[in-house]
Amino acid sequence: MKLKIVIPILRPPSVQNYDEIASRFQKVTSKCTEVGITYLEKGPASIECYYDEALAVPDILNKVNEAKEEGYDAVFIDCFGDPGVRAARELVDIPVVGAGEPAMLLASLLGERFSIVSILKNIQPLIAGNAKVLGVDSKLSSVRYVNIPVLELQDEKRLLVSLQKEMIAAIEKDNAHALILGCTGMTRITDSIRSILISQGYNVPVIDPVAAAIKFLEMLVDLKLSHSKMTYMPIPEKIRYQ
């Protein structure tokens, strides 16, 4: 299958070719999945609040549309806030997911309750609202945050220290039985944080939302399933200026 990954931010100056990016995603795809990468031409440098999300969505939808025209089988919008996911599903028939919904559904399966540890306090209401609309809010113990902006997540040490603190608090104070990394920029440290938690005596599932999302899309394509066109109906024709 051909999977389009829409990274819903402006291309960072540090990213010169997409092969390295693609190879990072290929680590979690099935062997026969072919990956295409795109960034936005218009939008924010990172998504950390409703405002960022709003600015990213129109170009996300352009990219989803392109993916359909290029013959992709599925689209992953690489952000935990699921920006533009619902509009995209109206636009195309192929499956589209963000990083939030698949991880929350998987966590619902794995434990009685789960917590999400995201980046900044700003994003907490958006994530909690998405859990309500998805219908799993009774399973959500808490949305915590490491208090590190997306663009500083590359400081792995700082991230791990803060993640560990918040994840243990989620377990001890909020009774979480499973944990989700609440930002796609965090997922490369999944193995490290799992090891740290286990070394501290906390053997709970830690979900990498990027990997979960990609697996969900592969599953949907395999099962010949896509979102319901009764929920995401075809778009009425009309004049629209972008």
Residues 222-241 that bind its own copies (CB under 8 A): 222-223, 225-233, 235-236, 238-241
Interface with its own copies, residue 98, by CB under 8 A: no
CB atoms under 10 Å from CB of 90, counted, come to 16
The residue within the footprint of its own copies, chosen from 57, 99, 159, 167 (CB under 8 A), is 57
Alpha carbon distances (Å) from 158 to 41, 80, 142, 168, 188: 30, 21, 22, 16, 14
Interface with its own copies, residue 198, by CB under 8 A: no
Interface with its own copies, residue 66, by CB under 8 A: no
Question: Can you tell me the distance from the alpha carbon of 110 to that of 106, in angstroms, rounded to the nearest whole number?
Answer: 6
Q: Which residue lies nearer to its own copies by CB, 71 or 125?
A: 125
Residue 185 tokens, joined: 């920029």
Question: Can you tell me the distance from the alpha carbon of 236 to that of 99, in angstroms, rounded to the nearest whole number?
Answer: 28
Per-residue contact track with its own copies, 129 to 168, x per CB under 8 A? x--xxxxx-xx---------x-x-----------------
By CB atoms closer than 10 A (0-12, 13-18, 19+), residue 11 is: middle
Q: Which residue lies nearer to its own copies by CB, 4 or 82?
A: 82
Number of residues that bind its own copies (CB under 8 A): 84
Beta bridge partners, 206, equal: 179
Q: Which residue lies nearer to its own copies by CB, 188 or 215?
A: 215
The residue within the footprint of its own copies, chosen from 1, 22, 28, 169 (CB under 8 A), is 28
- Interaction with its own copies in 107-136: which residues (CB under 8 A)? 108-112, 120-122, 124-126, 128-129, 132-136
Question: Can you tell me the distance from the alpha carbon of 39 to that of 104, in angstroms, rounded to the nearest whole number?
Answer: 25
CB atoms under 10 Å from CB of 81, counted, come to 27
Q: Which residue lies nearer to its own copies by CB, 102 or 185?
A: 102
